[in-house]
């Protein structure tokens, strides 16, 4: 699942970034002269894009509460489940 999401993200990054670079006038051909405005657009894309997605990821953690008490309850529930499923050793 992680690999699939990474591949989708990589594909989307190219799909989104290249049209933006074209819109700001950046020419990706090696040896080409780009205007200061095009280079500024490139810098902004590399700064704003990743920063925005990192902040979006941080927003996903708002309201995520896993403290010692909640962790203990989860561990207890898993232990009860495992005890009901797994065979008991012979006595």
- Check: pTM over 0.75? Answer yes or no: no
Instruction: Give the ranges where the chain is alpha helix by DSSP (H).
Output: 2-23, 36-59, 68-85
Domain borders along the chain are: 2-62
Under 8 Å between Cβ of 40 and 58: no
Measured CA to CA, the distance from residue 66 to residue 32 in angstroms comes to: 52
Q: Write out the two tokens for 38.
A: 């095009």
Measured CA to CA, the distance from residue 21 to residue 28 in angstroms comes to: 9
Q: How confident is the model over 5-63, as pLDDT tens digits?
A: 999 989 998 898 889 999 999 988 888 899 999 999 999 999 998 899 899 989 998 98
Cα diameter, the chain: 81
């Amino acid at each position: 699942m992680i690999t699939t999401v990474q591949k989708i993200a990589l594909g989307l990054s190219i799909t989104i970034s290249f049209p933006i670079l074209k819109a700001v006038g950046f020419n990706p051909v090696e040896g080409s002269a780009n205007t200061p405005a095009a280079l500024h657009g490139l810098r902004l894309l590399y700064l704003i894009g990743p920063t925005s997605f990192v902040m979006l990821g941080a927003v996903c953690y708002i309201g995520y509460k896993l403290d010692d008490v909640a962790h203990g309850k989860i561990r207890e529930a898993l232990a009860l489940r495992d005890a009901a499923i797994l065979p008991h050793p012979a006595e």
